Chains A and B, each alone.
Chain A
Amino acid sequence: MVTDGKYTLRLTGADDAPFAFAASPAFARDGLCYAACASGLYRSRDGGARWDLLPTSPEPVTTAVAVSPAFADDRSLFAAVKGGVLRSTDSGDSWFTAGFPAPPPVFSSLVASPDFERDGFLLAGTLEDGVFSSSDRGGRWQPWNFGLFDFNVLCLALSPAWIEDETAYAGTETGLYRSTNGGRAWRHSGFPAELAPALCLACFENGCSGSSRLLVGTESKGLLASCDQGDTWERLAPDALSGAVNQLHVDVYDGNTLYGLTSDGVVRSDDGGLSWSILKRVDGLATAMLPLGDVILLGVQGRGVMRLPVN
């Protein structure tokens, strides 16, 4: 269960909202985490208790943030602002900008390859321009939208076996696309078109024999799961999750524990998504969430970032 949390980052503007969180892979030790908000990118060095606004770019609205899986060595993180992706190699003290072709894209998601230390590969999803990829640690980006009929990309996920299978997924306004060649080309998956949009994705090695499990959160039909890379789907926990599932996260310490951000609030599953219970009902519009072991960061529009201790 979670105890009552408190807002540790207060946002003043009614439209200001945390869009995404990211944390250092060694969060348990260093307590380093980031919040991408409409008012800018914030950093906390103490597990989300106190936050500092980082000097990123003149364009404050930060819609996505990702930390390098090799953060302990390279101190790299990436933040998406309107029209570009910023990169820092000193955990956020200084920033470099990578330009994109006009008109400026609006980013919805950023993911880094699990093998980032070696391949330096990143994917960025945008709301009107499809998917961009970078193979040089965010220095240069190129659009890779072959076969992607819908450029309104809401979420991205990489297969846990990315190093071997180079499989990536893109959830869009009208369905789910799969790439089996590192994002260079996309094919429509068997995701039922009537259940689109695909709001969020989670891909993890659990619950399927010989394949990773793919979960998709939908706007009105709860959660769908696939064990065959998106060819066939089954609905999970239709009674518990009937409305919108806006975010999904796999617990960093236990691959069987999942967290979701739904229209009801923060929910948790301890059996790989088969059953769910409500952890915290949210007063207001919850926009982002990140479970970090014994704490959950929760973003609420117009209010800020709440730190929820998990017992």
Chain B
Amino acid sequence: MSEERPFHSQKSYQPGLVFQPHVHRNIAAGINKLVAAIRPTLGPTPRTVAVTRLDDARKTPEVLDSGGGIARKVIEMSQRDEDIGAMLARALICTQHERMGDGSATAAVLLGAIYRGGVHYLAAGGNAMRLRHYLERALATALEGLDELTAPVSGKDKLAQVAEAICHDAPLAKLLGEIFDIIGAYGQLDVRKDHSRVLRREYIEGMFWNSGLVSRDMIVNQKELQTVYEEPAIVIADFQISDPRHIMPMLELAVDLKVEKLLLIAGELSGDAIAGLMMANGKLKNFAVMAVRGPGMNPDDRQAAVEDLAVVTGGVPLLKVMGQNLRDIRREHFGGARRAWASPHNFGIIGGKGDPRQLRRHVSNLQAQYEREDDSERRGPIQARIGKLMGGSATLWIGGLSESEIEARKATAEATADAMRAAVRDGVLPGGGLSYLTARGRLQPKMNGANDPDERAAYHILYEALAEPARAIYENAGYEPGEVLGRIAQAGDRHGFDVLHGRLLDQASLLDGAAIQKMALKNAVLTAGLALTIDVLVHHRTPEIARDFG
């Protein structure tokens, strides 16, 4: 029986400096180890990687086939120099995974090839800074080549093709193709676990927010636990209403304006204020009011929701920052909708009476804001806002034979959905590594025309590296890469190789998200360029945190 070991390493770092040629050699070893762990997952026939569980090494290991997932599990290398190379690669792979949901294995393979080529050249006397400069120039040329190949994608069948290239799950891809054909790049999609064994989808009309009625006493339809108003007036306030006297001016004005149904969306309502509203419900003829809590978990979310609701309903919101309260209410603070509904946990608006032009401008502004935003944490809420304002949402229910299968498929569906958004927004490229192979055509003349050896080397390194993803895909599927590349070259342009069926086919049948491929290439070149310029490593003593765990 083997002895139990603590899961953190016992290694102890010594302070010191490391110089060439050890730096390049050891960084390359770190990069190569991580790339080698991820390379088998590239393509439609991925092999898997088993990872020991961090919390309990005795548990069944996690079996992963996603580059991003594997990289996240690699926390450190035992050799400190290699660790630096591996962590550079890890940062690249994780960023790709988080931003795009796909392309992390491609990025890893490209990084490995570029760095390897670069180290060979530098060992022969090349200049690292100049090589990096020319690599970035070659990158621009390759990206131009990819831009030329990029085509928009639409229609559920084409989108399903893109999804299948990402998730390698035909039934899931078919549903995602249909969903993204409807919701587009920004639409709201919830992926949820289901108790059934199958996949299914559901579309919900109208906009809804995750915030509900302030009191269950306001529920009219007890069976469905919701209240529906036709042609309601809608008042939006972002502050707490504690004094019941403050609601009187709102009710009086509503009655003057012949409002029959009123939806109040407010930051929070005190018990007395709720009682005041309930009293109005009982006493005023042909008038009913319900109140929901303003949506949003933090001030930024709440402000965004108020902005969106104002545009949708056409009502001017009452704002705390303006020093307003409900006594300041005027006619323009009343928005409207064709229908509004509310339950204890959600409320929704259908056919808001806001100006459609303003709504369209608002959505365009949010889309521009989304494009400008690099931080994925901030992009998420913007995308959710746009999704809501599109007027509907989709839910994908993930069923399966076991809990673990459902969990894994749900994770795959979520990652694929992220990648699909990018594909719908930015178009598609020939898949299976073909776009990179084709883009090499743009590098060839520049390589031949370069007089500077560093420049020629940069083009040559990138030219060779761009064939590496295709090679890895063929290898992983059990084919001899040289032979397949030869068959493609013989068949001419516009042909690719279907590794699943072992046949040549039209490039248009294999599709990858363009943004995914471009980002993978861009970040791989930038990371490799940076790593190639590292000349000295400085190690400190064992970091405090490692010592504590050790």
Tell me how far the C-beta of A96 lies from the nearest C-beta in chain B, rounded to whole angstroms: 24
* B184 touching A187, Cβ below 8 Å: yes
What CA separation (Å) do A152 and B357 show in the bound complex? Answer: 12
Tell me how far the C-beta of A235 lies from the nearest C-beta in chain B, rounded to whole angstroms: 21
* A180 touching B182, Cβ below 8 Å: no
Contact residues in B for A172 (Cβ distance below 8 Å): 356
Q: Cβ of A7 < 8 Å from any Cβ of B?
A: no
* A185 touching B182, Cβ below 8 Å: yes
* A149 touching B183, Cβ below 8 Å: no
Whether A101 contacts B339 in the complex (CB less than 8 A), given A172-B356, A180-B154, A184-B182, comes out as yes
Contact residues in B for A181 (Cβ distance below 8 Å): 155-156, 181-182
What CA separation (Å) do A129 and B392 show in the bound complex? Answer: 14
Considering only residues 346-363 of chain B, those with a C-beta below 8 Å from chain A are 350-351, 356-357, 359-360, 363
* A151 touching B360, Cβ below 8 Å: no
Whether A149 contacts B182 in the complex (CB less than 8 A), given A128-B351, A173-B356, A181-B156, comes out as no
What CA separation (Å) do A296 and B101 show in the bound complex? Answer: 59
Considering only residues 8-64 of chain A, those with a C-beta below 8 Å from chain B are none
What CA separation (Å) do A185 and B156 show in the bound complex? Answer: 12
Q: Cβ of A264 < 8 Å from any Cβ of B?
A: no
Interface size on A, residues (CB 8 A): 28
Contact with B along A149-185 (1 / 0, CB 8 A): 1111000000000000000000011110000110011
Q: Cβ of B22 < 8 Å from any Cβ of A?
A: no
Whether A103 contacts B339 in the complex (CB less than 8 A), given A146-B391, A172-B356, A174-B357, comes out as yes
Contact with A along B151-191 (1 / 0, CB 8 A): 00011100000000000000000000000011110010000
Tell me how far the C-beta of A131 lies from the nearest C-beta in chain B, rounded to whole angstroms: 11
* A102 touching B230, Cβ below 8 Å: yes
Q: Cβ of B136 < 8 Å from any Cβ of A?
A: no
Give the contacting residue for A185; candidates B183, B351, B359; CB below 8 A.
Answer: B183
Q: Can you list 26 residue pairs at the A/B interface with Cβ under 8 Å?
A: A102-B230, A103-B231, A103-B339, A128-B338, A128-B351, A143-B350, A145-B391, A145-B392, A146-B183, A146-B187, A146-B203, A146-B390, A146-B392, A147-B184, A147-B390, A147-B392, A148-B391, A149-B359, A151-B356, A152-B356, A173-B356, A174-B357, A175-B360, A180-B155, A181-B155, A184-B182
- A residues apposed to B, CB below 8 Å: 101-103, 128-130, 142-152, 172-175, 180-181, 184-185, 187-188, 193
Besides the known contacts A103-B231, A145-B205, 19 further A-B residue pairs in the complex with CB atoms under 8 A apart: A103-B339, A129-B351, A130-B351, A142-B205, A143-B205, A143-B350, A146-B390, A147-B184, A149-B360, A149-B391, A152-B356, A174-B360, A180-B181, A181-B182, A184-B203, A185-B182, A185-B184, A188-B360, A193-B357
- B residues apposed to A, CB below 8 Å: 154-156, 181-184, 187, 203, 205, 230-231, 338-339, 350-351, 356-357, 359-360, 363, 390-392
